[in-house]
Amino acid sequence: MTEQSGQGSARSQQDGAAGAPRFGRWSRRGVLGLAGTGVAGAAVGFVAGHASVDEAMPAVVDPATVVHPFHGEHQAGITTPVQEHLYFAAFDVRDTTTREDLVELLKAWTEAAERLTRGLEVTEDGAVDGPVLLPPDDTGEAQDMGAHALTVTFGFGPSLFTGEKGKRLGIADRRPAELKKLPLFAFDLLEDPISDGDLCIQACADDPQVAMHAIRNLSRIGFGTVRVRWTQLGFGKTASTDRTTPTPRNLFGFKDGTANVMADETAALEEQVWVPDDATPAWMAGGSYMVTRKIMMTIESWDRASLAEQQRVIGRDKGEGAPLSGGLEFTDPVFAAKNEDGSLAIDVDSHVRLAHPEMNNGTRMLRRGYNFVEGNNALGQLSAGLFFICFQRDPQQFIDIQNNLRGDLLNEYIRHVGSALFAVPAGTAEGEYVGQRLFG
């Protein structure tokens, strides 16, 4: 899935200078990346101040030039190796927007997103090559920065299909039965303005300014047709989709996503993540359902809990991330294992147990969550947490697991304040626009 523009596809080379290899040019990070992600664990020797380069040394590339193709069987940004930064936006269609307006927008979004993921500006004219007496096509803050592994993923919310809106857009009868507002779960304290939405765009990149630039410019293209409902920034992925890099840690200091569905688990992806080819309605074949949950963490309370309590709540140890039944991070937990005093090694209400596939009829999800920090409240407490994103072939997978977490010890330290469900259609072929199988 990963390619570098330096060795890129014919398509990314067609576009001339802006898409061409940038040998000798550097992102402002001034860093080198290992080619792809599969070699990140490869051995490279160093001696004081000088690289000891042996013949097995992997290729190094400027991470700014990493490009994930926009078109494909599935949308990028699901199994794509999780990037470091997120900018997520939910939109509502305006009351005056017609079906034609929305289709035009989806075409324009597709074209712009495809360019952005190649590290180009939204149009040929971009920020500086258009008529000087008009506003520039591109806002320009990512000029020359490169793609930085940007992916742009589109989804449709239930409210797009229902009520007056669904009738006006002519898609009232095309809503999948699974696509409906998520139920209110135990302890949910949802805030309306940061939940739901008619449409969504998930932009992920290894540079925050690139992700921000994508959402800003796509929002700008949507002006007059849709309006921004809510947005979310995130950093420091909290779940990987590949095991070549260490499992990241969430803001509770624990490794997160150890049991995630990985991009190379082909069978699990078919069973758990991708909507099957014989789907109803047919336009969702090859797509997936995306759940987002904004989860505030009461950081100060957590930080005052003992190490033993923290580990009991999670069911894993804080350093290695191994289940409390023993072993290492990727050792399967043994829920029947007991301590010397006869108590269960893994608490029956621990997060790892209640969320585990073994306790959920084998159900799994593909997660791509991010940490967020939004300053401090009036008491000086951190406003921080986890923006949870997961993909599954049926939203019921998330609903069942979330219901099973009703007794989760972790609930004492978290608060769900935002919630949304989106139908993410399959990927596009070249020349096709996102949503064409829905509107076409």
Subset of 380-419 contacting a second copy (CB under 8 A):
380, 382
Cα–chain center distance at 195: 17
Cβ pair 310, 318 in contact under 8 A:
yes
Kindly write out the interface string for residues 110-149 of this chain, putting x where it contacts a second copy by CB under 8 A and - elsewhere.
-----------------xx-xxxxxxx-xxxxxxx-----
SS3 track for 406-423: HHCHHHHHEEEEEEEEEE
Residue among 29 and 107 whose Cβ is closer to a second copy: 29
Residues 6-65 binding a second copy (CB under 8 A) are 6-7, 21, 23-24, 26, 28-35, 37, 40-41, 43-46, 48-51, 53, 57-61, 63
78 makes contact with a second copy (CB under 8 A): no
Residue among 2 and 436 whose Cβ is closer to a second copy: 2
Kindly indicate which of the ranges 10-18, 67-75, 103-111, 204-212 contains the residues binding a second copy, using the contact rule CB under 8 A: 204-212
Minimal distance, residue 9 CB to a second copy, in Å: 12
Residue among 109 and 254 whose Cβ is closer to a second copy: 254
> How far apart, in whole angstroms, are the C-alpha atoms of residue 350 and residue 80?
30
Q: Which residues of 375-408 are buried (b: 16+ CB within 10 A; e: fewer)?
A: eeeeeeebebbbbbbbbbbebebbbebbebbeeb
Residue among 23 and 340 whose Cβ is closer to a second copy: 23
Residue 155 three-state SS:
strand
- Please report, as a single letter, which amino acid is at residue 231: T
Residues 314-373 binding a second copy (CB under 8 A) are 317-319, 371, 373
Kindly write out the interface string for residues 256-295 of this chain, putting x where it contacts a second copy by CB under 8 A and - elsewhere.
----------------------------------------
Minimal distance, residue 211 CB to a second copy, in Å: 10
How far, in Å, are 47, 154, 270 from residue 435 at the CA level?
53, 9, 21
> How far apart, in whole angstroms, are the C-alpha atoms of residue 329 and residue 193?
38
Residue 229 three-state SS:
strand
Kindly indicate which of the ranges 112-120, 155-163, 225-233, 340-348 contains the residues binding a second copy, using the contact rule CB under 8 A: 225-233
- Closest Cα partner for 309 from 434, 203, 410? 410
